[in-house]
Amino acid sequence: GQSLEQPSEVTAVEGAIVQINCTYQTSGFYGLSWYQQHDGGAPTFLSYNALDGLEETGRFSSFLSRSDSYGYLLLQELQMKDSASYFCAVRDRGNQGGKLIFGQGTELSVKP
Amino acid sequence: EAGVTQSPTHLIKTRGQQATLRCSPISGHTSVYWYQQALGLGLQFLLWYDEGEERNRGNFPPRFSGRQFPNYSSELNVNALELEDSALYLCASSLRTGPQGYTFGSGTRLTVV
């Protein structure tokens, strides 16, 4: 089966950089994804890492180390609107489809 | 392009009743996934439909069921509602293959009283 662990909450100040870590255990690995959810709304896809290394999309970056079963989401130049829950997720099979298994989420609070 | 749409937005039911939730995927997406999110918790996988077939189900009792129609829209049915079924039910769609991202709907907030 699959399981993911991430911190339950993180607090940071506006303009700062924050890193949200995710460790996973999977029977087969098909990539690590990150989603953002504001106040119980629709989760939105942020990034996906299939291979080791850093993927950058604007202020957000995501990193993966398959040998360590570890990844993180890096948010730079934090803004108040970044206050949200962030979920890491792994797919349970490859490109033939398969469900995403989500972590319990990290609630990020950005303070002025 | 229209996103994933879910209806109703809110639903209040009495314990023991049945609830029906609906989801329309993005045009061209053949896979539909249902998740339950209890207040303050993560997303728990419920069901996955693709091409009209149930492909996988999560660790939920049989009173949670659903189907996918020929137009790829989907319906989630919850029978014999219990208080602990109160949650946000999220539907997501994706292509059968290709990018790894799901597109989620805004959910149906089900309250069982």
Candidates A8, A39, A100, A101: best to mutate against B (most CBs of B within 10 A) is A100
Q: Hey, are the CB atoms on A97 and B33 less than 8 Å from each other?
A: no
Q: What is the pLDDT of residue B94?
A: 86
Output A29 or A3, whichever has higher pLDDT: A3
C-alpha dihedral over A18, A71, B45, B49, to 10 degrees? Answer: 120
Query: For residue range B30-88, what is the model confidence (pLDDT) as tens digits?
Result: 999 999 999 878 899 999 999 899 988 999 999 999 999 999 999 999 999 999 999 99
Residue B98 pLDDT > 80: no
Taking the CA of residue A99 and the nearest CA in chain B, the distance in Å comes to: 7
Measured torsion, CA atoms of residues B111, B31, B102, A91, in degrees rounded to the nearest 10? 100
At A91 the pLDDT is: 82
Angle ∠(B61,B64,B66) on CA atoms, nearest 5: 140
CA dist., res. A109 & res. A81, Å (int): 9
The amino acid present at A39, given as its one-letter code, is D
CB-based contact A97:B97 (threshold 8 Å): yes
Q: How confident is the model at residue A2 (pLDDT cuts 50, 70, 90)?
A: confident
Closest residue by Cα to residue A102 from B12, B32, B42: B42
Contact between A100 and B102 under an 8 Å Cβ cutoff? The reply is yes
Whether residue B46 contacts residue B76, with contact meaning beta carbons closer than 8 Å, is answered with: yes
Confidence of residue B112 (pLDDT cuts 50, 70, 90): very high
pLDDT at residue B2, rounded to an integer: 75
Cβ-based neighbours of B111, under 8 Å, separated by 6 or more: B10, B11, B12, B13, B86
Least confident of A28-32, A52-56, A91-95, B7-11: A91-95
> For residue B113, what are the contacts with CB-CB under 8 A and spacing of at least 6?
B12, B13, B14, B15, B83
User: For residue A105, which residues of chain B lie inside 8 Å, CB to CB?
Assistant: 41-42
Q: Tokens for B106, please give them.
A: 């805004």
State pLDDT tens for residues A42-91: 999 999 998 999 999 899 999 999 999 999 999 999 999 999 999 999 98
Q: What is the pLDDT of residue B100?
A: 62
pLDDT band at B96, cuts 50/70/90? low
The proportion of chain A whose per-residue pLDDT surpasses 90, expressed as a percent, equals 77
| Residue A52, min C-alpha distance to chain B (Å) | 16
Residue A96 has pLDDT above 70, yes or no: no
- Cβ separation B102–A95 shorter than 8 A: no
Which chain B residues have any C-beta within 8 angstroms of a chain A C-beta?
4, 31, 33, 35, 37, 39, 41-43, 45, 48, 50, 55-56, 58, 88, 90, 92, 96-107, 109
| Interval A92-104 mean pLDDT | 74
Question: Across the interface, do A48 and B99 touch by the CB < 8 Å criterion?
Answer: yes
